[in-house]
Structure 1
């Protein structure tokens, strides 16, 4: 293991340089990393990378899912729950079903169970790829919210399909009654364990004498414990991490200090940056080992199967996107929907074209056991791996490279009922200052007349100037200012929950600003 350390260290350096290049040439970094990994794999004498399939889920998935659940807005997730639920569950199941029949019909030796296994692997679009591409182009807030919410939940639904198909392949039978009970347990148990572990860690953060460093360390441990605890009782570890992460994300201002929130964000961004970079590079590096195990299947035939499955995925997602819009337009006649305006043909076109595959598909494919319980080789394992690689590569290159052009070409209308971010940011800051000024004058009238610092604060909020540092503050001034910051924080959280159309990213920006203000007081 020690002799491989320089190789992995050099790999991380190469990943960082490639991501810098991707940002420079404005190409989504997953695309560049996969291509680079593929190119490196053909270099003579380059070490063959092998990942233990037993560890792939535990190493990569828990922290990546946990970070995504902290980044997403629960308000937006709930607001667009119908369309997100449709894509995350219904579309994933229909995609897996279509892949199962296509594979069974066109690929020799593929049973329906193997087809469902392949469908569960390649059905979930990758959140990292979509977000990396969307940062170069501007899309309506609702679309980015739907994509983020879908990617958070479709991992769970696809991996549940994958697990059931794996059992069917291994045992040769599938009992619907047992499957229904097992499915219910995976949903209820996964969510319950995630919430329970999240609640325990929330109390640990709140009542034990932790600091920013221990809080950050505990936050890294949390998703792994959620995942392992759920998997130990044969329920969904993915759902446990997502549900627990969403709980802790919504309560972060209750049990974490401002220092812990600020430092934790930086650590998690760097941690997930490395994990994402590694996993996309490994997609390319794994090709020689996958190709070597194809056996009697020729490379040209395997590529053809991969392109066929990719075509089924792309067409199926496009049809699903337009079908979801049609269902919404019909449903608005019977129930209240979040927004009943006709999105036209452009929105489903873009939603359908954002189906790049990536991290979860690779992890699921690599986790297929090499041998069955009786010691025989797992049927079609290497062909499934090769098809998965082709799907990831083609969707990243075809859809990933053309999506920015498509977005610029069709010019999506702005359906959002919100102000532009700059205007919303200025308005929230103005209203927050007015609220804090009123609170200061009402509750700290005497201190305001005696403390120069508080007078400076009031003047700052009245004139919108920046607060000047004056070396050292009296304890009383600090206490009052800390209370004002806390009052502003509570006001922001209340405003976010009361105003459905208010962009939560604007609120989070202001909350981060308050954390920085509070952190600054430690040095005054």
Structure 2
């Protein structure tokens, strides 16, 4: 333990330094992390990092999925639910099936069950990688919402495939009616448990005398409880975390105060960043053992690399073909639901670009590492090292090749401009602020015009603050009465923004940014 702790601290320090370097180079930090993990594996004398495969999902997936559910726009998910659903379910199943067919045909000893197992691992694109890469390129928020919503749901669908394939490999059989009943229970039970526990957690935050540290501590353990409880009754822990996270996210203004939201955002951002970095580095540290396992099975490294290239090609081709199939199906059956483009060329380029965003990442790594070393009967799990190696190759290639070229394609083609009929972000922001200012002004005039105010100068500066959004030179005019009015107005602003968010034309991310500014203003007032 005394030798492992410094190594873990060094890993975290390396993650931070690599992130700063990636920002300077203007590339996505997952690319540097996965390359660093590969290079670190060649350093002699490093301690072996061993993680129980059964704990991989429990340690890494719940908080990562929970954080994704809190950051995604549920309103945008509803708006683009057809595209999101097709990519999150149909495309994932098609990709897993394609991988199973190709690997069972070309790789000796690979059965369809093993093929589906590998397909379930590598089929879901990674939201963290895509978000980090598109951070350097301006894309419409709706496009980002499609990618975020897809990655949130495709984790569940791919891991369900992974779970069924794991059972099939262990037992050597697949009973379809039992699998159907099990699938229904996993979906219904997972969603139901997530919503129920999400409601319980919300009530606990509201009714218990919590403060920001305790609120944050509770949110850190809640995803683990969601996942663990659902898994104990053999339903989907992933769906429980996703549904519970979405339920709580939509009620964050109800059960968390401004201090908890501000501090919690910073804590969770750092926590998720470290988890992502550790997972990317872990695969690199295990790579020598994986390669040694391949050699012990008589599989040359060049052959394994060829299999990795083959599977990666299948992943890219399946996603692009699925994107165009979705476009054709929409044109035939629901042409009105197709996002408008300024030209036919741009409309045809849209599926290609969406297909090129399929970078693999953390979920694939966690799933691959979660494959047990031995089966239930005690024999070694077949092709485990080869599956791990292929997964690593797929992640490395999609991150490096697609990750480095995607910003260039987006910038050069500009084919996403005009695909989604969004109002310009700055225009929406200005319109929202103007409406917010007018709403606050009318509230103050209507409620306080005829009331006796004990500090007329204070009220005058108060009005000037909302009419001109200018800060006073000092805070001497701020007394308890005026401060109480300020707090009331801040709450009125939140209510106005919550109502405004029901407008489908308003970007929810802009609403959230403004709510965050209101939280900061409230915390500033508390210390005046």
Answer whether TM exceeds 0.5 for this pair. yes
Report the counterpart of residue 154 of structure 1 in structure 2. Answer: 154
Q: 1:42 and 2:42 equivalent?
A: yes
Tell me the distance in 1 between the aligned counterparts of 2:373 and 2:514: 51
Tell me the distance in 1 between the aligned counterparts of 2:71 and 2:216: 16
Report the counterpart of residue 320 of structure 2 in structure 1. Answer: 318
**Equivalent pair of 1:454/1:481 in contact (CA under 8 Å):** no
Query: Quick check: 262-271 or 42-51, which moved more?
Result: 42-51
Q: 1:443 and 2:447 equivalent?
A: yes
Report the counterpart of residue 300 of structure 2 in structure 1. Answer: 298
- Which of 480, 484, 489 is matched with 1:484 structurally? 489
Tell me the distance in 2 between the aligned counterparts of 1:138 and 1:419: 14
- Which of 415, 428, 437 is matched with 1:433 structurally? 437
Q: 1:361 and 2:364 equivalent?
A: yes
Report the counterpart of residue 386 of structure 1 in structure 2. Answer: 389
**Following TM superposition, by how much is the alpha carbon of 1:510 offset from its aligned partner in structure 2, in angstroms?**
1.0
Tell me the distance in 2 between the aligned counterparts of 1:428 and 1:191: 34
- Which of 499, 511, 518 is matched with 2:522 structurally? 518
- Which of 467, 482, 498 is matched with 1:493 structurally? 498
Query: Quick check: 507-516 or 44-53, which moved more?
Result: 44-53
SS of 1:136's partner is coil
Q: What is the 5 A alignment of 1:5-16?
A: 5-16=5-16
Tell me the distance in 2 between the aligned counterparts of 1:324 and 1:357: 21
- Which of 459, 463, 467 is matched with 2:464 structurally? 459
**Equivalent pair of 1:75/1:500 in contact (CA under 8 Å):** yes
Report the counterpart of residue 283 of structure 1 in structure 2. Answer: 283
Report the counterpart of residue 21 of structure 2 in structure 1. Answer: 21
CA RMSD in angstroms, aligned pairs only: 1.5
Report the counterpart of residue 416 of structure 1 in structure 2. Answer: 420
Report the counterpart of residue 272 of structure 2 in structure 1. Answer: 272
**Equivalent pair of 2:140/2:422 in contact (CA under 8 Å):** no
Deviation digits for residues 83-137 of structure 1, max 9, x if unmatched?
Answer: 0000000000000001001011000001111110010000001111111100011
**Following TM superposition, by how much is the alpha carbon of 1:337 offset from its aligned partner in structure 2, in angstroms?**
2.3
Deviation digits for residues 502-523 of structure 1, max 9, x if unmatched?
Answer: 1111111111111111111211
**Following TM superposition, by how much is the alpha carbon of 1:454 offset from its aligned partner in structure 2, in angstroms?**
2.6
Tell me the distance in 2 between the aligned counterparts of 1:487 and 1:163: 48
Tell me the distance in 1 between the aligned counterparts of 2:518 and 2:183: 44
Tell me the distance in 1 between the aligned counterparts of 2:56 and 2:329: 38
Report the counterpart of residue 380 of structure 2 in structure 1. Answer: 377
SS of 1:357's partner is coil
Deviation digits for residues 286-332 of structure 1, max 9, x if unmatched?
Answer: 21111111121111111111111111111111101111111111222
SS of 1:27's partner is coil
TM-score by length of 1: 0.97
- Which of 306, 330, 333 is matched with 1:331 structurally? 333
SS of 2:205's partner is helix
Q: 1:348 and 2:351 equivalent?
A: yes
SS of 2:501's partner is helix
**Following TM superposition, by how much is the alpha carbon of 1:257 offset from its aligned partner in structure 2, in angstroms?**
0.5
**Equivalent pair of 2:37/2:282 in contact (CA under 8 Å):** yes
Deviation digits for residues 5-57 of structure 1, max 9, x if unmatched?
Answer: 01111111111111100100111111111111111110122223222211111
Tell me the distance in 1 between the aligned counterparts of 2:324 and 2:331: 11
Query: Quick check: 411-420 or 198-207, which moved more?
Result: 411-420
Where structure 2 has 5 or more consecutive residues not aligned to the other structure, the ranges are none
Cα 1:248–1:178 change in 2 (3 A) is same
TM-score by length of 2: 0.96
**Equivalent pair of 1:417/1:501 in contact (CA under 8 Å):** no
**Following TM superposition, by how much is the alpha carbon of 1:155 offset from its aligned partner in structure 2, in angstroms?**
0.3
Tell me the distance in 1 between the aligned counterparts of 2:406 and 2:165: 32
Report the counterpart of residue 395 of structure 1 in structure 2. Answer: 398
Tell me the distance in 2 between the aligned counterparts of 1:347 and 1:467: 49
**Equivalent pair of 1:440/1:448 in contact (CA under 8 Å):** no
Cα 1:195–1:317 change in 2 (3 A) is same
Where structure 1 has 5 or more consecutive residues not aligned to the other structure, the ranges are none
Tell me the distance in 2 between the aligned counterparts of 1:194 and 1:135: 31
Tell me the distance in 2 between the aligned counterparts of 1:70 and 1:132: 17
Q: Between Structure 1 and Structure 2, how many residues are aligned?
A: 521
Report the counterpart of residue 174 of structure 2 in structure 1. Answer: 174
